[in-house]
Amino acid sequence: MCGLYCLIALFCLQVGAQRTTTPSQYQEQQAYSTIVNALADAKRLRINLASQVTKSREELNTINGQLGYFEESCYCGKNNTIVFNSFLSKNAANFGLRQPIYFDNITLNIGNGYDARHGVFRAPRNGTYTFSSSVTTNAGSQIAIEIVKNGEQLVQMRSLNDYMWSMATSVVNVNLLKGDDVWVRHSAIGDANVLQIDDGLYTSFSGYLIHT
Ligand SMILES: *[C@@H]1O[C@H](CO)[C@@H](O)[C@H](O)[C@H]1NC(C)=O
Ligand SMILES: *[C@@H]1O[C@H](CO)[C@@H](O)[C@H](O)[C@H]1NC(C)=O
Ligand SMILES: *[C@@H]1O[C@H](CO)[C@@H](O)[C@H](O)[C@H]1NC(C)=O
């Protein structure tokens, strides 16, 4: 049934059986089979190691993914500072209704929340922030301003129409989501015949992150 291959196999067995095995040949065979076994062990070990490496790599990827999430949501141990101060560098007048006031002299802007081009603070991340603004007018003029978040009023203030200089200041705390905008603008209320904002460091807009 098995034909030519069987015959060859039988022949080989016959020849092999007829060989007498000397002691040194026996030792060689022993050594040979030890090596073969050791190689087989090494191969199994290598396969085990390879699958452990694959598993470790998957675990590492999982941990990296989690780290990425935490880095995004928490600044644990990192420099979490977001703070800015800005001022008017010169007098400005005749603000239109709801016209933003552009505080052009930026003396501090850690975290780059304050956009120097537009005078708008854009929250770099979710959190609770504090903002304040002061406006100063000279004798005989007045101004009403408001701090707004995405165009919605947070707080307003008004300087007096007095015979001396007058200053109004207010502070507000607000929760912001990353990307929310906060700015100061001339508010609608009451002072159509406006306005002078004096120079120096009298008129300001500042803010900082309290907590993420
Ligand atoms: C910021 O808040 C929004 C709304 O609660 C949330 O969907 C988002 O995941 C928050 N971002 C981070 C980085 O925590
Ligand atoms: C955070 O970074 C700012 C800007 O690089 C730096 O001025 C400030 O000192 C840092 N604060 C801490 C606590 O390291
Ligand atoms: C901006 O304010 C600083 C004071 O913090 C002042 O030294 C500087 O001269 C001001 N710059 C301008 C352009 O007004």
Listed range (58-67, 73-82, 160-169) with the worst mean pLDDT: 73-82
Q: Is 74 in the pocket of ligand 1 (CB under 6 A)?
A: no
Query: What atom in ligand 1 is closest to the CA of residue 126?
Result: 1
CA of 96 to the centre of ligand 3 (A): 26
Listed range (3-17, 36-50, 111-125, 184-198) with the worst mean pLDDT: 3-17
Listed range (8-22, 27-41, 53-67, 162-176) with the worst mean pLDDT: 8-22
What is residue 192's predicted lDDT score, i.e. its pLDDT? Answer: 47
Q: Are 152 and 115 in contact (CB under 8 A)?
A: no
Of the CA atoms within 13 Å of residue 152, those in its CB half-sphere come to: 5
Q: What is the pLDDT of residues 191-211, one digit of tens each?
A: 645 556 655 788 999 999 998
CA of 65 to the centre of ligand 2 (A): 27
Tell me whether strands 181-186 and 120-122 are parallel, antiparallel or unpaired.
Answer: antiparallel
Listed range (6-10, 31-35, 67-71) with the worst mean pLDDT: 6-10
| Whether pLDDT at 187 is above 60 | yes
Ligand 2: list residues with CB < 6 Å: 79, 81, 110
What is residue 136's predicted lDDT score, i.e. its pLDDT? Answer: 87
pLDDT band, very low/low/confident/very high, at 159 (cuts 50, 70, 90): confident
Percentage of residues in the chain having pLDDT higher than 70: 82
Listed range (32-36, 69-73, 119-123, 191-195) with the worst mean pLDDT: 191-195
Query: What atom in ligand 3 is closest to the CA of residue 90?
Result: 14
Q: Which ligand is nearest to the CA of 72?
A: 1
Tell me whether strands 105-110 and 204-211 are parallel, antiparallel or unpaired.
Answer: unpaired
| Whether pLDDT at 95 is above 90 | no
| Whether pLDDT at 70 is above 80 | no
Listed range (40-44, 114-118, 161-165) with the worst mean pLDDT: 161-165
Nearest-CA residue for ligand 2 atom 13 is 79
pLDDT band, very low/low/confident/very high, at 18 (cuts 50, 70, 90): low
What's the mean pLDDT when you consider all of the chain? 85
Q: Is 73 in the pocket of ligand 1 (CB under 6 A)?
A: yes
Ligand 2: which of 75, 81, 208 to mutate, most ligand atoms within 8 Å of CB?
Answer: 81
